Structure 1
Amino acid sequence: MQPWELTPKLDSNPRGRRYGLDGPTKRIVCRANSNLTLAVRDGRVVLATPNRMDEYQVRLVPYNPDFMDESIMWSGTKRDWGDGFNCIRMINNINSVLTTPSDDPRKINDGVQLILSEWKEAENQLWRFYGWE
């Protein structure tokens, strides 16, 4: 297992609505604890209490086929594991999937750092994208 880093895409919006280049920001939640959402704190990818005004909640960036930036190249599985959840994996290593360190929902709290690990078909490896609206 290895931790990974992601830098938040910061932008300003005077009305308080958070938009990326291609539309509203998305919440990314884990099936093991869907009360938290993906965020970046101190250069670490963590789960955090959802807050649409938090500039460290993760935003999607547009894909540019002319520039290969592997740090943003992630994919989801085609298989739906129920309710729209699937795994998120690295494009250059599909054996590494986004995971919480524990599969016990009681240990998946605000601030828990996410890791990459081997796919085990566990609840703490299943993710879903939601819009804020």
Structure 2
Amino acid sequence: MFGHHHHHGHGGHGQAPPPPPPHEQTLYKIFCRADEAYCLTVRNDTVVLAPTNPRDESQHWYKDMRHSTKVKDAEGQPAFALVNRATGLAIKHSLGQSHPVKLVPYIPDYLDESVLWTESHDVGKGFRCIRMVNNIHLNFDAFHGDKDHGGVHDGTTVVLWEWAKGPNQSWKLLPWGDEAYNAPRAPPGGPYPPPAAQPEPAYGGYRPPPGGPAAGGYAPPPPGPYPPPAPQQEPGYGGYRPQPPVHEPGYGGYPPAPGNPAPGYGPPAGYGYGNLPRVLASEPTVRVFCKAGDGYSLTVRNGTVCLAPTNPRDEFQE
């Protein structure tokens, strides 16, 4: 196709102009048979149908087939990813039937079957099903986009559904014309266009509706002066003071002297000193040591069991 070029003269008027250079990557529009005037669009991080606009980059899709030679569906159809030009997000499988498809950041060199799709054979007039690569029974479905449910409208969501031979389940991927490639691109700095400037919220975080108070909006608050807000202080420095840490007896802290328990140290009802049940607190204690060094006894220290020099007055060794 590209190996031979034939030039024909036209009565001395020179050669025919060369064909335009091919686009680096083909941009596709995706629409269903239920209403071809609506295209697959990314809006608010969801996949919907919207009126066709070739200059809207959120309706421009790349059909990435880099994994098509090694990933195929049960019918042998090659897999592809659908990547949105405006956002860089790929369409991902939904949770199941009737659930909307999802969008995730696309990592081209990572093989992720959850963003891979296939096309069925022709189901009429060049339309095909778009279905999960690993479950060809779940297809793109313009939710309630058939005539019996009101048809396609601006904002129709795309879900997955079993094949029901509906026009809202029959899809086409067609290349956009030159008007799509000539659309103004977002400035460098990332695949996402910069967000529109947001006005400062008015009156306590609410933006008044158009028309002002006369149209049912919020009236502005009365003029000041207003008392200044209370100064915020660091915890522990005049503001909220955190309570001192409470150590359980035998876990990094020393128990208080008998008869004068500090708050938080008193044993619960039914328990004796050191959180032992009373039936055990009245039993004699024993010392535990090993043959390797009987000068060391089993001890609790900082929440762990270890050996320490024998000390008959250390209750952590009892």
Give the TM-score category using the shorter length: 0.7 to 0.9
2:113 alignment partner in structure 1: 70
Counterpart of 1:29 in structure 2 is: 31
Stretches of structure 1 that go unaligned for 5 or more consecutive residues are: 1-19
Greater displacement, 103-112 / 93-102: 103-112
Distance across 2 between alignment mates of 1:32 and 1:61: 22
Shift of 1:21: 5.5
Query: Residue by residue, what CA displacement relative to the aligned partner does 1:25-65 show, whole Å, maximum 9, x if unpaired?
Result: 11111001111011111111111111122121141242333
Change (3 A) 1:58 1:30: same
* CA deviation after TM superposition for structure 1 residue 98, in Å: 0.2
Number of corresponding residues: 112
Contact 2:34 2:151 in 1 (8 A): no
In structure 2, what is the equivalent of residue 43 of structure 1? 45
Query: For the residues of structure 2 that align with 1:21 and 1:108, how far apart are their CA atoms?
Result: 32
Q: Higher relative contact order by CA 8 Å / sep ≥ 6: 1 or 2?
A: 1
Q: Secondary structure at the match of 2:160?
A: strand
Verify the 8 A CA contact 1:90 1:96 in the aligned structure 2: yes
* % identical equivalent positions: 37
Distance 2:138 2:49 in 1: 18
| CA distance, structure 2, for counterparts of residue 31 and residue 61 of structure 1 | 20
TM-score with structure 2 setting the length: 0.33
Q: Give the partner amino acid of 1:22.
A: Q
Which runs of 5 or more residues in structure 2 are unaligned? 1-22, 68-108, 178-318
Q: Deviations over 1:64-89 (max 9, x none)?
A: 336312243111112x1222101110
The structure with the largest strand share of the pair is 1
Match of 1:85 among 127, 135, 159: 127
Question: Relative to 1, partners in 2 of residues 1:60 and 1:71: Cα closer, same or farther, differing over 3 Å?
Answer: farther
The answer to whether the 8 A contact 1:40-1:58 is kept is no
Q: Does 1:96 pair with 2:138?
A: yes
Cα distance between partner residues in 2 of 1:61 and 1:98: 15
RMSD: 2.0
CA deviation digits over 1:89-133, x for unaligned, max 9?
A: 011221110001111284311111111111111111000112222
In structure 1, how many angstroms separate the alpha carbons of the residues matched to 2:58 and 2:116? 19
Q: SS of the counterpart of 1:107?
A: coil
Question: 1:7-39, CA deviations, whole angstroms, 9 ceiling, x for partnerless residues?
Answer: xxxxxxxxxxxxx8622x111110011110111
Letter in 2 for 1:125: Q
Contact 1:22 1:62 (8 Å CA) reproduced:
no
